[in-house]
């Protein structure tokens, strides 16, 4: 048991299926909380789909141009001829064990909260990384903990109920999700 009242095994149980296996998401995206879509880069790169979904904001939790990143930016969404009106924010998270994603939890939670408040609470945010089940999921979980005061188990369960997720290398140490618990208590 950790200082946060939840064990690593309990967290792994929440992340795995009934057989104890981790699985990949079966869809490119899922609505994991009202007006919060969690997904992969293919949807993030498809302006037509984003417009059809009425997405007003995109949070890229893999901003950058290396093999582990998704090379989009504000210009991609409002650039010449696109006219989407989508508001963009990027977090340059690496999917490696030594990367401390927790330093971006507040920033990500703030952007999600602002997105949902947009246009008299009619905003919709698409949160993504490359595959849409680790870095981006961790930021959505942090949002639920920091802004909705869910404990780590409830936040994980809320997201996991709608989308398969797992710890990436950058969230390999459960302290990243557990960190949020101390931030909201």
Other CB atoms within a 10 A radius of the CB of residue 158 amount to 16
The residue among 42, 73, 36, 12 whose CA lies nearest residue 159 is: 36
Q: Would you give the distance in Å from CA 26 to the centre of its chain?
A: 16
Strand, coil or helix: what is 14?
A: helix
Measured distance CA(91)–CA(67) in Å, rounded = 15
- So which residues are the catalytic ones? 129
Measured distance CA(51)–CA(73) in Å, rounded = 17
Structure tokens at 75: 């210009």
What would the DSSP string read from start to end of 43-107? HHT-HHHHHHTT--EEEETTBSSSTTSB---HHHHHSTTT----EEEE-----STT--GGGGHHH
């Amino acid at each position: 048991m950790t200082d946060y009242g939840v064990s690593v095994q309990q967290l792994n149980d929440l992340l795995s299926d009934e057989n104890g296996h981790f699985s990949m998401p079966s869809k490119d995206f899922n609505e994991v909380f009202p007006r919060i879509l969690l997904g992969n880069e293919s949807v993030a790169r498809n302006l037509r789909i984003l417009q059809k979904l009425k997405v007003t904001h995109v949070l890229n939790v893999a901003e950058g141009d290396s093999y582990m990143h998704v090379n989009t930016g504000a210009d991609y969404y409002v650039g010449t001829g696109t006219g989407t009106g989508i508001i963009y924010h990027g977090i340059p998270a690496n999917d490696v064990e030594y990367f401390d994603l927790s330093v971006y939890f507040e920033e990500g939670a703030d952007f999600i909260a602002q997105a949902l408040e947009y246009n008299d609470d009619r905003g919709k945010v698409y949160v993504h990384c490359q595959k849409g089940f680790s870095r981006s999921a961790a930021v959505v979980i942090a949002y639920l903990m920091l802004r909705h005061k869910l404990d780590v188990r409830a936040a994980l369960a809320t997201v996991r109920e709608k989308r398969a997720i797992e710890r990436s290398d950058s969230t390999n140490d459960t302290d990243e999700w557990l960190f949020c618990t101390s931030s909201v208590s």
